[in-house]
Every structure is written in C-alpha cells, then in structure tokens.
Amino acid sequence: MIDPSPTLPRKPEVRFGQQLSRGGHWRRSALFSGPAVIWLALLLLVPLLIVTGISFLTRGEYGGIEWHFTFDSYKRLAGFGDLGFDALYPVILLRSLALGGATAALSLLAAAPLAFYIARVSDTMKNVALTLVVIPFWTNLLIRTYAWQIILSPESWVTQAVHGLGIGVAGEPLYPGTLAVLIGMVCDFLPFMVLPLYASVEKIDWSLAEAAADLGANRVQVFRHALLPQIIPGLVAGVILVFLPATGQFVIPDLLGGAKTAMLGNVIQQQFASSRDWPFGSAISFVALVLVMAGLWIYLRRGA
Amino acid sequence: MPVQSESLTSQTTPPIETAIEARGLVRQFGTVKALDNVSVTIRKGEFFSLLGPSGCGKTTLLRIIAGLDMPDAGTLIISGTDAEEIPAHKRPVNTVFQSYALFPHMSVWENVAFGLRMKKVPAAQITERVERSMALVQISELKARRPGQLSGGQKQRVALARALVNEPAVLLLDEPLGALDLKLRKQLQVELHHLQRRLGITFIYVTHDQEEALVMSDRIAVMNAGKIEQLDNAEEIYERPNTRFVAQFLGSCNLIEGAVTSVNGKNFSIRSTLGSLRVVLPPATPDTAIARARLKIDGKVTVAIRPEKIRLAKKDELAFENCFAAKIDDLVYSGAETQYRLRAGEHILSSVALNAKAGDTHFAIGKNVLCYLPESSLVLLDD
Amino acid sequence: MKRNSLALTLSATALYLFLYAPIAVVIVYSFNAARFGATWTGFTTKWYSTLLHNSLALHAAENTLWLGVFSTVISTVLGTLLGFGMSRYEFPGKEVFGKLLYVPVFVPDIVLAVSLLLFYSIIRSWLGLLELGLTTMILAHVTFQIPFVAIVVRARLVGLDPSLEEAARDLGANEWQAFRHVILPLILPGVMAGGMLAFTLSLDDFVVSFFTSGPGSTTLPILIYSSVKRGITPDINALSTLIILASVLATIVVAILQRIKTSTRNHIK
C-alpha cells in the first residue's frame, strides 16, 4: 500500500498541518478530535476525578458518602486505622507489588528463551511461532485462568506429580494459593513480555557478540556486554507491560488465590461490593492510579 | 521592486494579463522568515521559475499560491480575485508535487480522473478528458497500472497528467525533476518546455538547479533568505546579475571591489587593487537604481565579471585600458574549454576560454599573460 | 543466523506447552462425561447440546455480541477520527493529551470499573439517568477502546506521505473528500486492525462489564465468572471451548490477512 518511490527529505520550512487559516484549523481540529476528546473527558477524566475526590470523604452510615473531608482512608491504608496499627492493608499493598514484581521477573525468565528461539527459526516458522504466542493473548483471560483451577485441583495428576516430587508445602493444596496465583499470572502475561522482547532480540547485531568473543570475552561477558545492552529497550517495555497489569489484577487472585493472597484489586472490589466503603475503595484506587501513572511515565520517557 | 518595473515598461504595449499577483507576502515559521515581504507579478502564459537554494522560501511561495499554506501578511491575487478566502480545493491552480504524491491505492487512470470526479464532472466528459490528458504526456498504455508499478519518469508524467486534466489557469511544479537521473531530467526539461508552449498555461516552476531554470524559463525570480533578489529573463539574470548572491548562485563570477574615480553619462571608472577599471553604466531601471545611486566619487562599489568574458593574451601584446598582467596559477582542460586560475597582483581571477580551433594553444601554468576585462562585460552590483 | 540449540528448543517447547495447557484442559474437559470434579469418566458431546438449550448462556451470548458490535463501531469511528485529528491538527494541550491516551491502556480494569460505577451512580442520583444495563456497558467499553484504536490508527498515519492529502486538496477535494477518498482507504488496514482489537477487548472484558452491568445485561464473561464462583459446570467448558475456537480462528484470519497484504506489497516493489 505504501508508495515505494524514493522518499525525499522534507524542507525544514514546510511544516504540515499549518496550511489552514487559524479559524479553519481549530474548527477542523475540533471536528476530528473533538468527539473522542469530549468522550474521554466525560467518561474517563471525570470519573477518575470523582474517585480522587471521594477518597477524601467519609463513609456514610449505610454505604454511600458524607461530605466531610478527611485523610482517614489513606491513614487506614497506611495501617493507622481507628483501632491502632493494623498491618493488613500495608501488607496487601506490599503483596501486590511483590506478586507483580515476581510475575514480571518470572515472565522475563520464561520469555527470554522463547524470544531467542523465535528469532532464530526460519522466516516461515517465525510467523507460526509468533502466532502461537499471540493466540493465548487474544483468548479470554477468565477462561485461561479458571482452567488452572482444574489443572491444580487436588485430584489432578499435575498436583499428584508435584506432591510426589515433594515440591510445595506438604498437606497444603497447590490451589488455592500463592503459587497458583503466580502460575496463573505468568501464564496470562507471558505474551506481553515475549512480544516486545522478541522485537528487540530480532534486531540484535550478532557481529557485536562475535567481536566480543573474538576479543576474549567468555559467554557470560558476551551476554552482559554485547547482547544485554541491545535488548534493554524491549526488556524494559516488557517488564512494565507485565508489572503494571499484574499488580492491579483482580480476576487471577480472585479465582486462584484465597484470603491470604488478596491483592489491591480484591480489596477495591470488596469495598464496592460487600463492605460498601466507597471512600476507602476510592483511596486504594487512587493509589493504584498513581502507581500506573508512575509506570506510564517511565514507559513513555523510555520511548522518547 | 520588480513589480514596478513591469508597470513602467508595459505602458506603451497593450496591458499584459496577470495570472498571479503577490503583494507583500510574509510567512514566518518560528523565528525563520520563509517569505520576507515578497511582491511579484506573474504574467498569463509565461514559464516562470522560482530559483534559489533550499530554504530560500521558493516552496513556501508555491504552497501559498496553491492554498496549502497561508501567508501571515500580504495579499495574493489569482486571476484577478483575492485568494485569501479561496480554499486550496477551489483555486484554479494545480500542483505537481516533488514526491509526485500519486495515490497508491488508485490506478493511473483513477489518479488522473480524481480531480474531475471531485468536481462532479459528467462521466462521459471525464473519460474523454482523462484519455486526452494521458495521451498528451504519452502514458495512455499505463492507465491500468498502480503507481507502485511505475518508474520515476512515468510517475512524473502521471503527476503531470493528473494536474493538467483539470485545465488549471496556473500549473505549479515543485522541483518535479529533482528525483530523476540526469539524462531523463534533460529529456523531460525539453518536453515540459514544449508542453508549456503548446498549452499556453502559466507554469510556475520551483527549482534549485540554475541550468534547469535558464533552459526552460521565460522569466526567473532568484530567491534568497525569503526575498526575491532579482527577477528577469534568463539572459539578463545571467549576464547582468544585480547582487552578489545572484552573480554567484548562477554559475561562477569574479567580484572586484573598488572606489569610484569618475562618472560620466555612459560609463564610470573605479580604482581597485587590480588597477583602474572602466565600466559601462547599467541601463537605468529601478532595479539598478540602488547601485547607480552609490556612484559618487570615492563611493565603494563591487563589479562582477563572468569567467568566460575575461580574455587572455600573450604578455607582449599591446596593453590598453582594462588590461592587467597576470600569471597562470592553475588550469583545467576539459575538452571544449579550458579553465584558468589567474593571479593578478593579490587578486585571484578565474577565466574560461573556449578551445575553438583544433590545437588552440592554451597557456601553460606559471606563464605570465595579459588579461582583458571588457568594459561592457563588467556588471555593477547592488552591494 | 545462529541455529537453535537443543536446550533452547526444548525450553521453548515446554513454554508453549505451559501457554497452551489451560486452553487444552478447557477443551478436553468440555468432552468429559463427569458432571462434577476433575476426574475423567468418558467422552461425551452432550454438554454442547445442553449449552444450546441453556437460555441464560444464549442470552448472555446475544448481549456480548451486541455490546461488542455497538462499542466497536462507536470506538472505531471516534478513535479513527481522533487518530487522524491528532496527527494533522493542533489543539491546546495536545501533547499532554497524547500521553494521557495511554492511561486507559495501563490503568487496572478494576480502577476504571469502579470510577465508572461511581460516575454512573452520581449521575443517577442527580439526573435519574444511566440505569445500569447494556447502555452503561457500551459507554464503558467505548471509553477503554478509543485509545487503542486511536493509537493503532495514528501509527498507521505516521507512515503516510502528508503530500498525498495535499495533492487531494489541490485537485479539488474538500477536507472531507480528501479524508474519505485518499486518507481512509490508505489507513483502512490500520482502522480494521484497531477495530479488531477493540472488538476482542470488548469480548474479553469481564471486570468493567461486571461493575457496569445491570440485571438482564449479563455477558458471557460474567456468566463464566459466576459459574466458576459457584463451581464449574461442564457446559461452561463447552461454552469456553467455543469462545476459544472463535479467538483462534480470528487470530489466524488476521495473521493470514496481514500476510496477503505484505506479499502484494512485495510483489509491487
């Protein structure tokens, strides 16, 4: 579809997009961008501002909210509730970060061999190999997650084999548990790590590795000094793309974990479903939002 | 400036119809003035070139005429109508883009028919005009092809047919031959020239190639840093450059600075490091007014002379006015002509001599010669 | 190019098995005769016929489809216009907005879901509008779909020669005609890819739907979730198998379509 004629360098003084009179320019800009901008302002920005606002209000007696400004929700989140220090929520916050981090680390370990493998197969096989990574990515997360309930159930042969090998805590089921959550997360988010990592691996200049080896570097040194710097962009993108959604996950810990594996997402859901504590749920949401914005900032800065 | 020269000279002849008139156009991009108060009148049916280095503002001027850019100030009149309120798609002008900008998802035929379709021309008429336009540039057999299947020269022809089919009052060409190889470029130069003569449509041709401009144009506007430095026909531009920039942008030129020693009706003399020089006065036009105004005794002036105008003679030949002793520093023989580098006092002059006869003796390096700067070949510059 | 070592091939195979284990298990168990539990008791296709008579599932499938179609159409139109508008025209704060566009891509589903839940309940208490149901779900889905479409379309526009649009204008096309006859056909693959992505996101979404749905607007993911919470019934495995099949087919079709496009491009070159 793209015209393959030689592309000519554009003159510095000719800038596209300024060809209209000022009035016409704004009018057309509003015509094209306006509807979506208004939509997102109304249904994304305003709701997120409402969440931020409500997080500073007080819970009403029967759910709902009272117009009373307070930092109570944040204090409670930090562990300083009405009844003195309670580590419950700080632990959940840390657990979310830890599980997100562990998911990113394990995904990276798993994605690396896969990315190198795909980069080295023949071109026709490459398409197949990539499509095979993409198919689970397009398949419903809920389905892929509940399947692990079956695989990790006490009567399954996987569980029996694992117990037979003496892995895991004797007497404690694999599911529900932290290990099940972690397995589900890695399985679900692996494609997010493989794709950007593969994109970097594909572009590796192998002559640098050969040069390093030629200059006497051992295998570890070759990887550390000649290959790793080349795949850092894909690596950072992959880690962020896995870490952020993993940390904010609700479905996976909900289906594969129990009370001991509750994460931020589960607490938010609780506050809006059973506890009806909107301000507290909003406060946790706000913290999650800030976390995401920080990750996003890193992601976009890396891109720039 | 040049605008007024038109009105002065055209008083006796019947009024020349104007295709485009620009008055005081200004276009600024950030701190860069792409157009700095440009005024120009383009006549109906002429081949007009905008010549200058990249970044001089020539493409900006073309885009403003096309309606693809808006001036920050100034007036643009197309065929007698103020164009400010006319959007690009309603202007009676069409453009041949530098990158051709052929629509890759359409066949050659559809590309050429696009303009007529947009204007809702009846289908039968579209077919007829498209066929005619494609025949005009000899691409009839390519009509089913996609732009991706064409060579550079073929694309150029399609772009031309696509613009011409709309029968524009003015055709704008933005370095249309820039991406082609030299041989094809020469061939298309000739074709474009003939096409313009045959159709009688006003062509405005943007180029940075001075030879291209000289070969094809009725008139040339030499642009530099957002200003028109000189506007005239090819011969005048080349033979009588007004400014240092024009003199040096078109071919090479020797510049000699000096102080005026005497002025009379038809000529003046200057004292330069080369020696005393007599120079024929330029004809009195507003273009040369600035330079003439500086012709006061002891006023500093610069005069220019093209290398091929300098004549060389053996040292023992008779010396007369505007003759100076020089030494051959270097020479380059290139078949038809020989280029010399001369040292005359502290001056370095370049000179070109045509090897008109077989065995023409060219002067050897290190030899002392006499160089003659004909008084009518010396040109007084503005600065 | 380097060849794959045996160790690398083996670990890649193991990882593919890991990726496909849950999918395989769901498909296999949809043919398991056992009503309860994970024990294999024999092959059967009866769960598929049970599914055909499960009015809840059929209704949920209908809701899912409508939700997907409506939200995709709206978000593809708005996202394409936005992608084009942002690449061509200026507006105040465009740069910041371009970055904020990534927020819905990264923000946890649950945060987006509860923010919309709160927004809807405030609007409801003030204006009496926006009762939870298919409408609120469509509004919610479009919100997270727009950025994906806009980002995909904008990426396609970046590779487009801007003088093509100028040429169209120069030849007599007004702004809209230039968009309709030149820009749109050229970015259509990007628009379709964006639309496919938006549709898949809608079909897959559980969390946002769960919080913004009302009585009667249950979708397949919500149905699956509640079944899973109550204890998986075998016909849910059958349902999931069909969904998986649809996703696999869609992915392969998209992959093949892209291949065809690339090969014609190479041919032209």
Give the pLDDT confidence of B186-224 residue by residue, as tens digits.
Answer: 888 988 999 999 999 999 999 998 889 998 999 999 999
Residue C130 clears pLDDT 90, i.e. is over it:
no
Considering only CB atoms, C118 lies closest to which of A1, A47, A110, namely: A47
Closest A-chain CA to C110: A265
Give the pLDDT confidence of B310-328 residue by residue, as tens digits.
Answer: 888 876 666 678 888 888 8
- How many contacts (CB atoms, under 8 Å) link A and B? 52
Rg (chain A; Cα; Å): 25
Cβ separation of C38 and A150 shorter than 8 Å? Answer: yes
Residue B4 clears pLDDT 50, i.e. is over it:
no
Task: Quote the pLDDT of residue A118.
Answer: 92
- Write out residues 283-312 of B within 8 Å (CB-CB) of C: none
**Chain A residues with CB-CB distance to C111 below 8 A:** 48, 51, 248, 268, 285, 288-289, 292
Place of tokens 């496919």: C196
- How many contacts (CB atoms, under 8 Å) link B and C? 72
Residue A14 clears pLDDT 50, i.e. is over it:
no
Give the pLDDT confidence of B105-125 residue by residue, as tens digits.
Answer: 999 999 999 999 999 999 999
- B112 neighbors B161 (Cβ within 8 angstroms): yes
Residue A97 clears pLDDT 80, i.e. is over it:
yes
Which fold, A88-302?
MetI-like fold (1.10.3720)
- State the best of A54, A135, A249 to mutate against chain C, taking most chain C CBs within 10 Å: A135
Task: Quote the pLDDT of residue A169.
Answer: 60
- State the best of A45, A67, A143, A263 to mutate against chain C, taking most chain C CBs within 10 Å: A143
Give the pLDDT confidence of A111-121 residue by residue, as tens digits.
Answer: 999 999 998 88
- B350 neighbors B252 (Cβ within 8 angstroms): yes
C neighbours by CB contacts (3+ pairs under 8 Å): A, B
Mean pLDDT of C68-82: 95
Res. C219 pLDDT band, cuts 50 70 90:
very high
- State the best of C17, C19, C203 to mutate against chain A, taking most chain A CBs within 10 Å: C19
- B312 neighbors B349 (Cβ within 8 angstroms): no
Least confident of B76-80, B256-260, B303-307, C258-262: C258-262
Task: Quote the pLDDT of residue A13.
Answer: 33
Mean pLDDT of B368-378: 86
Task: Quote the pLDDT of residue A295.
Answer: 83
**Chain C residues with CB-CB distance to A19 below 8 A:** 166
Considering only CB atoms, A12 lies closest to which of B55, B152, B155, namely: B55
Cβ separation of A31 and C85 shorter than 8 Å? Answer: yes
Q: What percent of chain B has pLDDT over 70?
A: 91
Average pLDDT score, chain A: 83
Q: Which CATH number fits domain B252-380: 3.20.190.10, 3.90.870.10, 2.40.50.140, 3.30.70.1230?
A: 2.40.50.140
Higher pLDDT, C253 or B222: B222
Task: Quote the pLDDT of residue A85.
Answer: 81
* Measured torsion, CA atoms of residues B297, B301, B305, B310, in degrees rounded to the nearest 10: 50
Mean pLDDT of C2-16: 86
Cβ separation of B179 and A6 shorter than 8 Å? Answer: yes
* Measured torsion, CA atoms of residues A53, A59, A62, A64, in degrees rounded to the nearest 10: 0
Residue B35: helix, strand or coil by DSSP? strand
Task: Quote the pLDDT of residue A161.
Answer: 78
Mean pLDDT of A127-148: 89
DSSP B353: E
Direct distance between the N- and C-terminal alpha carbons of chain A, in angstroms, rounded to an integer: 28
Residue B176: helix, strand or coil by DSSP? coil
Task: Quote the pLDDT of residue B217.
Answer: 92
Res. A21 pLDDT band, cuts 50 70 90:
low
Provide the CB-side half-sphere exposure for B309 (13 A, CA).
19
Task: Quote the pLDDT of residue C267.
Answer: 38
- Write out residues 6-25 of A within 8 Å (CB-CB) of B: 6-8, 11-15, 18-21, 24
Res. A184 pLDDT band, cuts 50 70 90:
very high
Mean pLDDT of B151-165: 92
Q: What percent of chain B has pLDDT over 90?
A: 36
Mean pLDDT of B75-91: 87
Residue B380: helix, strand or coil by DSSP? strand
Q: With an 8 Å Cβ cutoff, is B148 touching chain A? A: yes
Mean pLDDT of B219-236: 91
pTM, entire model: 0.78
Higher pLDDT, A15 or B106: B106
Higher pLDDT, C144 or A59: C144
Cβ separation of A248 and C109 shorter than 8 Å? Answer: yes
Q: With an 8 Å Cβ cutoff, is B270 touching chain C? A: no
Where does C130-233 have alpha helices with state H? 134-158, 162-170, 175-178, 184-204, 207-212, 220-230
Task: Quote the pLDDT of residue C262.
Answer: 46
Strand order in the sheet with B170-174: B93-96, B170-174, B202-207, B47-51, B219-224, B227-232
Average pLDDT score, chain C: 86
Mean pLDDT of A65-85: 83
ipTM of the complex in this document: 0.87
Beta bridge partners of B202: B170
Give the pLDDT confidence of A234-287 residue by residue, as tens digits.
Answer: 888 889 889 988 998 889 999 998 777 889 999 999 898 888 888 999 999 999
Which fold, C61-218?
MetI-like fold (1.10.3720)
Q: For chain C, which residues make up each domain, given as ranges?
A: 61-218
Task: Quote the pLDDT of residue A134.
Answer: 87
Q: For chain B, which residues make up each domain, given as ranges?
A: 18-239, 252-380
Least confident of B14-23, B68-77, C120-129: B14-23
Task: Quote the pLDDT of residue A170.
Answer: 56
Higher pLDDT, A156 or A141: A141
10 Å CB burial of residue A286 (0-12, 13-18, 19+) is: buried
Average pLDDT score, chain B: 86
Q: With an 8 Å Cβ cutoff, is B154 touching chain A? A: no
H-run or E-run covering A219: helix A219-222
Place domain B18-239 in its CATH homologous superfamily.
P-loop containing nucleotide triphosphate hydrolases (3.40.50.300)
- State the best of B60, B86, B112, B118 to mutate against chain C, taking most chain C CBs within 10 Å: B118
Residue B22: helix, strand or coil by DSSP? strand
Residue A157 clears pLDDT 70, i.e. is over it:
yes
Closest A-chain CA to C104: A44
Cβ separation of C206 and A142 shorter than 8 Å? Answer: yes
Q: Which amino acid, B114?
A: F
Res. B360 pLDDT band, cuts 50 70 90:
low
Higher pLDDT, C171 or B181: C171
Q: For chain A, which residues make up each domain, given as ranges?
A: 88-302
